[in-house]
Amino acid sequence: MPDTPQSLADRLLLEGGRVVEFFNQIRTPQWSQPAYPGQGDWNLHALLAHFLSAELGRGELISQVAQGGSGAPPDFKIDEYNLLGVTKLEVESNVTLLDSFWTERVKLAEFVASLSQNDLERRGNDPFLGQTTLCEIIKLTYRHNQIHIREVRGNL
């Protein structure tokens, strides 16, 4: 079945709901637990801040490419962006971060549903994928969360 704006929007909502469900199951003492023991100093709270930061950034990227933009600059430094985003947002509470993530995900899904099939073929630079279609940029937006959650579940 070909990807359509509505099917991608539905998938964004489905996977966004799974993110909310995952973080709603975290108990208070777990929030300060390392997300990736031995691989950095992000705890689960910082990971949630990363999810919101990435959601905001990817929303901007998707909008820009959909409007004919070229995507991320070739010299975009994803690790620096992630570090700055987490540092900025991790001062917020878990509840605020999760509510903001869901609000942004709903807005993104609504925007994606409003696109045309031709819009999905627009090309732009994704910081991780390189030059690709808007369709693939959208898919990575929900896959990014899936990958992190799959990895973190093994550490809980």
More confident residue, 32 or 67: 67
CA separation for the pair 36, 88 (Å, rounded) = 20
The whole-number pLDDT of residue 53 equals: 97
With a cut of 90, say whether residue 154 has pLDDT above it: no
CA separation for the pair 52, 141 (Å, rounded) = 11
The whole-number pLDDT of residue 29 equals: 87
* Structural element, H or E, at residue 131: strand 130-133
Least confident of 36-45, 95-104, 116-125: 36-45
CA separation for the pair 60, 66 (Å, rounded) = 10
CA separation for the pair 28, 36 (Å, rounded) = 18
pTM above 0.85, yes or no: yes
The whole-number pLDDT of residue 36 equals: 82
Supply the mean pLDDT for the chain: 94
Q: Identify which of 97, 6, 9 has the alpha carbon closest to the alpha carbon of residue 53.
A: 97
3-state secondary structure of 22: helix
DSSP bridge partners of 125 = 71, 131
